[in-house]
Amino acid sequence: MAQPAGSIDLAEGAGVLLFDGDCGFCTRSAEWAQRYVRPGCQVIAWQFAPTELTEPLRERLEGSIVVLRGGEQLDRGAAVAAVLISSPRRGWRLLGRLIRLPLLRNAADLGYRAVAANRYRLPGGTPACAVRRS
């Protein structure tokens, strides 16, 4: 589950994964990642993170997960790869490194966009999960 906002510490180096806590599919996906991938970063619904951290990223956060790590802001496939690479489990780390390869990076971004655009149709999704278009 999401951690309280006061526990965010970007100085730890592992970073933080921000996801849409209003979306059932995203929440279930984050819980699944915590259970099976065991990322070496904090996993927090962006709605519970400090506003000064999330406000500059608001548009990105409404349509994608974002990993903040060492001054980097990663989203979509790059964020997924970062989360996998931070796992203590070798198989997930290898998959994350593969996703960073040029051809797979593009495929991961396309796949991420397709899932994000249809997350309200996926298991756990609700109409509240629909990505808002501006």
Q: Tens digit of pLDDT for each residue in 54-84?
A: 999 988 898 889 999 888 899 999 999 999 9
**Is residue 113 in a domain?**
yes
**Is residue 130 in a domain?**
no
Q: Which amino acid is at 27?
A: T
pLDDT of residue 3: 46
Domain harbouring 78, CATH code: 3.40.30
Q: What tens digit of pLDDT does each residue of 102-119 get?
A: 889 999 989 888 888 887
**Is residue 134 in a domain?**
no
76, 64 in Cβ contact below 8 A? yes
**Is residue 110 in a domain?**
yes
Q: What tens digit of pLDDT does each residue of 3-38 get?
A: 444 455 555 556 899 998 888 888 888 999 999 999
Range of the domain at 48: 5-123
From residue 113, alpha-carbon distances to 3, 10, 15, 76, 116 in Å are 26, 27, 23, 7, 5
**Is residue 99 in a domain?**
yes
**Is residue 91 in a domain?**
yes
From edge to edge, which strands make up the β-sheet containing 72-75? 42-45, 16-19, 66-69, 72-75
Q: How many domains does the chain have?
A: 1
Element housing 9 (H / E): none
Is the pTM value of this prediction over 0.75?
Answer: yes
**Is residue 128 in a domain?**
no
